[in-house]
Every structure is written in C-alpha cells, then in structure tokens.
Amino acid sequence: MTPAVNQNSTLPSLSGGLYAFFFDVDGTLATIESQPESVSIPASVRQHLQQISNLSHGALALVSGRPIAQLDALVAPLEAPAAGVHGAERRDASGHVHRHSLPGDIAQTLQTELQQTLDQWPGTLLEVKGMAFALHYRNAPEYEKSIMQLAEDAVMRFPALALQPGKCVVELKPQGIDKGAAVREFMQEAPFIGRIPVFVGDDLTDEKGFLAVNAMQGISVKVGEGASHARYRLDSVDAVWHWLGQLLLQVEHDIVGKESRL
C-alpha cells in the first residue's frame, strides 16, 4: 500500500461546498478498547455529529464493522444512515435496511467450529454479527498467526466468504461487501447524491472506502499512523474530535453567510 502523494495533517477547508460525511467508529469517533462492548463516544462528540447531520440535511452516515444496532446505541440520540458489518447491512436515509447474509448452513457450521477453536486459545474472542464473524486477538497477540490461518482456511472451504484483516482482528464476511461499495451506494441516493464525499477512518477495513472517495474526487482522511490510500491524515481520535468542532463551526458559518445574502 502506498501513501497518497499529497497526504498531510492539514485538512482543506470545507467552507462553501456541499459535502457528504462518512465516519468509521472504532479508532475514529471512539478510542479502541480491549473489549468491543467497552467502547463509548463522548456526549459532546455525539452532539457535534447530530448538529452536522442536521445542517447537512442528513448527509452524514456511519460506516463500520459493527452491526447497525450497536452503532445506534453508540451515537444515540442520533439515528443516522449507517452501513454496518462493512456494508453487509445498510440503512439508507429513508430508514430502509438492505441486508446481505451467509447461507444458514455455512453460518451455523462456521460459528460452531470457530467457537470450538477459539475456546482453546485464551484471550481470543469470537464476535458473531449475524452475517459475519470477527475473530479478535487484541488480548492474545501470540495467536495472531493461528487466527489468520484459521480465517484463511475458512475462506478456502467456503467461497461465499471474504477475509478482512483489521487491527488485532480478522473478519469473515460475505464476498463483494466492503466499505467502498457502501459509500458508493449511499452516494447514489438522497441526501448524499450530488455532494462531495468526505470519509474518515483508521483501519485496513477503511482503505476501500478511501479509494472510493478518491475516485469521486472527495476527501479521504486516515486517523493514526500507517501507510494509506487516504489523502489526508489526523493523528488520533482526539484530533478527530477537535476537527469535528471546527467542521461544525465552518458549516454554521456557511449557512449564516448564505442567509445574509438572501
């Protein structure tokens, strides 16, 4: 993976344009925790998201590996369009949910086999997402190679599956599903259509989202270190929170300016 040529930590001003905002959650809007259920988003950040969504006429979506139900709980009371499980489930702005799923026999067989194996590796965790599985090893990094081999073997056995590495996690999901596809689907629908996409993420799972946004001449932002296709970079989750506050001020300033010219 090659870093984008013009990647830098100074994001361009978003004043004066119509933008569509897409945010990953873990490692972007929330700090990564050892247990997925321990993650939270500060009330002030949730309020900024709500205000930006309102001012952008709803053109703000969450694009995450988490199921939509978990995303709703993390950003409540905001209920935004969302792509959960990397796009395997997607709720559009009208509230309609589109779902991709694994065949029932594959899902049940996989869950049983994966759980039996991970039970033998202390500190690992199997997260069942309905249409995907996440194999976590943050608390047991010594099992990284074993987890990867287990996931690769599953993909070899079941061609309907795709493997998605992440930060101390490997996911098994339906083929053809990724965050880039989810962003492209949103951008074909109201209220996103015709706007300039902005995508902020931190992980390998976000790279296809960055590529999709780059192809649409949008703004792609990588959070943290590491090579990336993103064109811009923010150092940390704290930096994302600070930028959200600045972004809100920009959007509010634009609206006041437009109203004063009427």
Q: What is the pLDDT of residue 256?
A: 66
Q: CA 259, CA 261: separation in Å to the nearest integer?
A: 5
| Residue 141 and residue 168 in contact, taking contact as beta carbons nearer than 8 Å | yes
Please give the share of the chain, as a percent, with pLDDT higher than 70.
94
Interacting residues of 7 by C-beta distance below 8 A, sequence separation 6+: 222, 228, 230, 231, 232, 233
Question: Would you tell me how many other CB atoms lie within 10 Å of the CB of residue 138?
Answer: 16
Q: Would strands 196-201 and 219-223 be described as parallel, antiparallel, or unpaired?
A: parallel
Q: What's the CA dihedral at 12, 51, 63, 109 to 10 degrees?
A: 160
CA atoms of 131 and 157, how far apart (whole Å): 17
According to the model, what pLDDT value does residue 259 have?
54
Instruction: Calculate mean pLDDT across residues 182-195.
Output: 97
How confident is the model at residue 9, as a pLDDT?
Answer: 62
- Average pLDDT on 139-147 reads 95
Of 2-6, 12-16, 144-148, the range with the highest mean pLDDT is: 144-148
Which residue of the set 24, 178, 203, 206 is catalytic?
24
Calculate mean pLDDT across residues 30-50.
91
Order of strands across the sheet that contains 82-84 = 97-99, 89-91, 82-84, 60-63, 19-23, 196-201, 219-223, 232-234
Is 24 catalytic? The answer is yes
